[in-house]
Amino acid sequence: MMNVPEGFQPLFRSSPLLDLLGPFFCRHDAQRQLVVALRIDEKHCNHGGTAHGGLLSTLADVGLGYAMAFSREPPQPMVTVGLRLDFCGVARVGDWLEVHTRVDKLGQRMAFASARLHSDERLVASASGVFHLP
């Protein structure tokens, strides 16, 4: 059985890609911002034994997109039009990786968010995204 930190629940929505990569988990932090997480497994790693940059990008996109979509009532689907990721560190097999999101601006047609990816207290990456409301 996977060790999941207290307060995390299975991610409330999934997709075929997330089912392949997951399981993913989520919770809300003290500021009611969404936190998405997963436990790094061998299937998530590159040849160097660290979490693959594509996985980190996917995790950032999922966290940012879900934070934006579910910040409206009712939730609205959004399409990623821009994603920037700056890699600052690494995550290894067994690490619990969290994406802490922040909704920066919600407009009528565009939305902006940022996130920090942490493994324990270590910063692994920072991200920002731009989303279009179709």
pLDDT band at 132 (very low <50, low <70, confident <90, very high): very high
Q: What is the pLDDT of residue 96?
A: 96
Q: What is the pLDDT of residue 119?
A: 94
| pLDDT of 86 higher than 90 | yes
DSSP assignment of the chain, as one string? -----TT-EE-S---HHHHHH---EEEE-TTS-EEEEEE--GGGB-TTSBB-HHHHHHHHHHHHHHHHHTTSSS----EEEEEEEEE-S--BTT-EEEEEEEEEEE-SSEEEEEEEEEETTEEEEEEEEEEE--
CATH of 9-132, one of 3.90.1150.10, 3.30.70.260, 3.50.30.30, 3.10.129.10: 3.10.129.10
pLDDT per residue over 88-98, tens digit each?
A: 999 999 999 99
Give the pTM: 0.90
Q: What is the pLDDT of residue 71?
A: 82
Burial class, 76, CB count within 10 angstroms (exposed 0-12 / middle 13-18 / buried 19+): middle
**Domains of the chain, residue spans:** 9-132
Find tokens 């911002």 and name the residue: 33
- Strand 34-39 versus strand 122-132 pairing type: unpaired
pLDDT per residue over 11-63, tens digit each?
A: 877 788 888 888 999 998 877 888 999 999 999 999 999 999 999 999 999 99
